[in-house]
């Protein structure tokens, strides 16, 4: 029985992935896509709680969790009617590669970061700036999906959405501000990773040259 429970967090992750794939198939049907997407997001919260409660947190589980988050947002960014959505998608996947080469402890590798990056990352995003950033990262894509459907298919929504339509842009502005802050942190992460690789390459060349000189002297 214990061996079954140890796989529950990962099984929840696989279930999230299946929900997102089905949602992608029904992307143009908001009454199907949005509920599936929201359920997947809620399961993300359950996944973390279950993993901590059963003490089954792992590097693979953390990697799988972020991977599925990226897939979910990519499904939306790739199909929204904004050309810059693909740019956001590319930045997110670049950051995924840069951060997760450091393993499970990548969130703790911000000791030399500027204050605004540390404020976002503080206590695993449990800070004011962290919550603003995470809200923009995860909340903007599905809200833009909803906002575009209200504009393109007004007949699918109650009259109140048409009456309040000018106010629907306000969450876009608020979530967009959080996403811009997130973008700034992402660009910093990519820059730091590139500098780290460049410095490591120089160190390797220096070490190699030193070994050759030592052999020559001997």
- Select from 54, 79, 104 the last residue of a domain: 79
10: Cα within 13 Å, side-chain hemisphere: 12
How many CB atoms are located within 10 Å of the residue 153 CB? 11
**140 and 201 share a domain?**
yes
Among 79, 100, 116, give the residue marking a domain's end. Answer: 79
Q: Residues 98, 147: contact at Cβ < 8 Å?
A: no
Residue numbers of the domain that contains 55: 1-79
The size of the chain, in residues, is 218
**Residues 6 or more apart in contact with residue 64 via CB below 8 angstroms:** 10, 13
At residue 174, the pLDDT reads 96
3-state secondary structure (DSSP) of residue 211: helix
What is the DSSP-derived secondary structure letter of residue 102? Answer: T
Mean pLDDT of the chain: 85
184 and 103 together in one domain: yes
Mean pLDDT, rounded, for 197-206: 76
pLDDT for the residue 109: 66
**Interval 49-99: pLDDT, tens:** 777 777 777 778 788 889 999 999 999 999 999 989 999 999 999 999 988
140-155 mean pLDDT? 90
Residue 5 has pLDDT above 60, yes or no: no
Same domain? 67 vs 103: no
Residue 93 CA to residue 89 CA, distance in Å, equals: 6
Does the structure show a pLDDT above 70 at 201? yes
Rounded Cα gap, residues 214 and 216, in angstroms? 5
Query: What's the confidence (pLDDT) of residue 102?
Result: 63
> For the chain, how many structural domains are there in total?
2
Q: What's the rounded Cα separation, in Å, for the pair 176 and 165?
A: 18
Quick one: pLDDT at residue 3? Answer: 44
pTM to 2 decimal places: 0.84
């Amino acid at each position: 029985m214990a061996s079954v429970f140890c796989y529950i967090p990962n099984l929840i992750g696989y279930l999230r992935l299946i929900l997102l794939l089905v949602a992608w198939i029904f992307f143009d049907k908001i009454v199907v896509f949005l509920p599936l997407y929201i359920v997947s997001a809620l399961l993300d919260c359950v996944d973390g709680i279950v993993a901590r409660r059963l003490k089954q947190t792992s590097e693979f589980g953390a990697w799988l969790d972020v991977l599925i988050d990226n897939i979910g947002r990519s499904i939306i960014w790739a199909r929204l009617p904004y050309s810059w959505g693909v740019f956001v998608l590319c930045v997110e996947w670049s950051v995924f590669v840069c951060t997760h080469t450091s393993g499970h402890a990548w969130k703790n590798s911000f000791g030399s970061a500027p204050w605004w990056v540390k404020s976002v990352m503080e206590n695993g995003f449990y800070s004011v700036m962290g919550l603003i950033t995470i809200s923009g990262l995860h909340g903007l894509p599905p809200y833009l999906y909803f906002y575009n459907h209200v504009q393109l298919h007004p007949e699918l929504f109650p009259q109140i959405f048409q009456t309040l339509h000018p106010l629907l842009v306000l969450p876009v502005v608020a979530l967009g501000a959080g996403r811009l802050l997130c973008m700034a942190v992402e660009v910093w992460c990519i820059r730091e990773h590139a500098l780290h690789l460049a410095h490591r390459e120089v160190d390797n060349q220096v070490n190699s040259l030193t070994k050759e000189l030592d052999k020559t002297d001997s």
